[in-house]
Structure 1
Amino acid sequence: MPVERKELSDPLLGFTTDQRQSFLRSSNDSVMAWNVFRFCTALKGLGFLMILLVLGVVGVTYYAVVVTNYVPALIHAGGLDSLVSVGVLILFHALLVMLLWSYFSCVFTDPGGVPPNWRPTIDEEGGEADALNASEFSRLEPHSSGHKIRYCRKCGNFKPPRCHHCSVCGRCILKMDHHCVWVVNCVGALNYKYFLLFLFYTFLETTLVTLSLLPNFLVFFSDQEIHISPAALATTFMAFVLNLAFALSILGFLIMHISLVAANTTTIEAYEKRSSPKRCYDLGRMKNFQQVFGTDTVYWFLPAYTDEDKQRMPCLQGLEYPLRPDFDSEVS
């Protein structure tokens, strides 16, 4: 009887021992010197507790702004105060919708994983688009353009460009930026835009709340007569302090990520630039921006992409990235 042959899933099948060891050594070179999540696998246990915490902060803020302050002001006040209350309430709800839309898009969107049995398909040195075989692989380890085959020992798979292994998720993430405990997810190629929009709308929302609650917050330190209940005062105080703290902290993160997008790099790549100082993916600020937000200006501030952008921009899928035309000439 013929013996049934089982296909092995080892991506290094057919390679010599020297080639295997060489690929493993090269994969170690791309690992950060210190992995902050090495001893933090307990972060998985946080799960949706972080989501509940975020919703709790939103709930306290909503009660302080809408229920305690501006709806009563809209009902009892008149003239200019009513117009201000209407403006604050409309802007508050609009930003809240965009904030929650961006947040849950980031939470529930897979950041991008390496497709099963993925292998590099292009011999960049020879310019051929056929799948590489074992005998051809040795020619791709590092060559004139400075590229080399990357391999993950933990996943047992080859790693596409800009892909990194997440110790919390336990898999390789395409264009991994970082693992964020607030969204209970990795931030990678497929949800990086949503994460940035979450930061953007959260900063706008917390800034609006801070400014709108400031007059009521100052009542605590004045001799004015207070006309609301102690519970409402405590909620207003808590919402003001929380939103002020979030606004200041998120501003720093937002500035950092704006600079990363402008340079077409990630948090991990910025950390590793000591060993790879040349930014081969930097195509200019506008093209760098479009690689994250797409080319359709209508969708720039929405946590979504057009079908046209998904089809004509492979970088949005996390597997292929265009290089600077002068990159090969810069690498010695």
Structure 2
Amino acid sequence: MYRSGAIMAWNVFKFCTALRGIGSIMILLVLAVVGLTYYAVVFANYGPALFEGDIASFTALAVLILFHILLVMLLWSYFAVVFTDAGSVPPNWRPVLDEESGDSDPLTGSEFSAMPADATNPMVRYCRKCNQLKPPRCHHCSVCGRCVLKMDHHCVWVVNCVGALNYKYFLLFLFYTLLETSLATLSLLSHFIAFFSDGEIPGTPGMVATTFLAFVLNLAFALSVCGFLIMHISLVAANTTTIEAYEKRSTPRSRYDLGWKRNFEQVFGMDKRYWFIPAYSEEDLRRMPALQGLEYPSKPDLDAQGL
């Protein structure tokens, strides 16, 4: 029995190590798909159409302008997720306990151990892998090897954990990816249909093959990202994460669910000018503790304040 458990733990460790190793490959893969799409849309099809005159030039110009705007926002959001730390537990972090409202979560699950000998509150969560206290909604990531604030999941596509400090950027990446891939799919649809016609297709065989492949890839990404984005929008509306939704499948609604508007603001901030860009205003960062990943208002808090 012991030997079986040891083998299982060793296999999981190998899997996590492999995920760390393919990081740069996934970034190159994303850039390769972007490059292929850019060549198919700009160089192979709509770039040359700019010089055809009449309505074709106007259509090509409109497609190219919108394509480049969405591409800039997509890449900005993507690299914001890649290079933004999802959130780590500060050294020597200690919770502000409110025993009356029960604001601390009890130790649950196999990833927790008994509190250190000098701990005075048995309700504080503790990670035995990091040997440190855990803020609310914090989870240990086996791939990153550390505790992540409000961890949602570890994403191999962005080579990073998605958590408190970069969740908004991840959602914007999905949003702009959906728009960009949908635009590319629609703009290449006529060229894709022409591939199966009996008429002569303009362009070199390489351009035709690139257009065909770009259409198939963008259609596949648009469909998959659409479902993924819808799932995360529902999570934001309920103020929960992928991990919390999995853990609480049979339990009542989360106590962090304050209504869809306040839930949305805890991810995107209150300044509407920043909702669609991967950044926060300084005022939001200063007045909204939830954006820092350590404190979250909850229903017991509101009850205690009479709100």
How far does the alpha carbon of each residue in 1:159-198 deviate from its partner, in whole angstroms, 9 at most, with x for none? 0000000000000000000000000000000000000000
Distance 2:14 2:270 in 1: 40
Distance 1:107 1:311 in 2: 24
Map 1:130-141 to 2 at 5 A.
Answer: 137-138=120-121, 141=122
Q: Give the corresponding residue for 1:145.
A: none
Q: Give the corresponding residue for 2:109.
A: none
2:45 aligned to which of 69, 77, 81: 69
Q: Which amino acid aligns with 2:162?
A: V
2:198 aligned to which of 220, 223, 229: 223
Is 2:156 the counterpart of 1:173?
no
Is 2:26 the counterpart of 1:50?
yes
Deviation at residue 220 of structure 1 after TM alignment: 1.0
Q: Give the corresponding residue for 2:131.
A: 156
Is 2:63 the counterpart of 1:88?
yes
1:202 aligned to which of 160, 171, 177: 177
| 1:243 alignment partner, SS class | helix
CA RMSD after TM alignment: 2.3
Q: Which amino acid aligns with 1:267?
A: T
Distance 1:285 1:278 in 2: 13
Checking the alignment, whether the CA contact within 8 Å between 1:280 and 1:327 is kept in structure 2 is no
Checking the alignment, whether the CA contact within 8 Å between 2:101 and 2:301 is kept in structure 1 is no
Map 1:1-332 to 2 at 5 A.
Answer: 40-41=15-16, 42-75=18-51, 77-125=52-100, 137-138=120-121, 141=122, 148-274=123-249, 276-325=251-300
Checking the alignment, whether the CA contact within 8 Å between 1:64 and 1:235 is kept in structure 2 is yes
Q: Which amino acid aligns with 2:200?
A: E
Deviation at residue 47 of structure 1 after TM alignment: 2.0
Quickly say closer, same or farther: Cα 1:276–1:172, change in 2 above 3 A.
farther
Deviation at residue 40 of structure 1 after TM alignment: 2.1
Deviation at residue 123 of structure 1 after TM alignment: 3.5
Deviation at residue 127 of structure 1 after TM alignment: 9.6
Deviation at residue 224 of structure 1 after TM alignment: 1.7
Q: Which amino acid aligns with 2:24?
A: F
Structure (1 or 2) with the larger CA radius of gyration: 1
Q: What fraction of aligned residue pairs are identical, expressed as a percent? A: 70
How far does the alpha carbon of each residue in 1:68-116 deviate from its partner, in whole angstroms, 9 at most, with x for none? 00010111x1111111000000000000000000000000000000001
Q: Paired residues, what number? A: 282
Deviation at residue 278 of structure 1 after TM alignment: 3.2
Deviation at residue 249 of structure 1 after TM alignment: 0.3
Distance 2:170 2:12 in 1: 20
Distance 1:52 1:273 in 2: 36
Checking the alignment, whether the CA contact within 8 Å between 1:37 and 1:168 is kept in structure 2 is no
Distance 2:85 2:255 in 1: 26
Distance 1:269 1:314 in 2: 20
Distance 1:94 1:170 in 2: 37
Which structure 1 residue ranges, 5 or more long, are not aligned?
Answer: 1-33, 142-147
How far does the alpha carbon of each residue in 1:22-54 deviate from its partner, in whole angstroms, 9 at most, with x for none? xxxxxxxxxxxx9x9665211000121111110
How far does the alpha carbon of each residue in 1:244-271 deviate from its partner, in whole angstroms, 9 at most, with x for none? 0000000010000000000000000000
| 2:120 alignment partner, SS class | helix
Q: Which amino acid aligns with 2:20?
A: K
Deviation at residue 134 of structure 1 after TM alignment: 7.5
Distance 1:214 1:65 in 2: 11
Quickly say closer, same or farther: Cα 1:37–1:91, change in 2 above 3 A.
farther
Deviation at residue 149 of structure 1 after TM alignment: 1.2
Distance 1:182 1:135 in 2: 41
| 1:280 alignment partner, SS class | coil
Checking the alignment, whether the CA contact within 8 Å between 1:114 and 1:173 is kept in structure 2 is yes
Distance 1:231 1:125 in 2: 69
TM-score (norm 2): 0.87
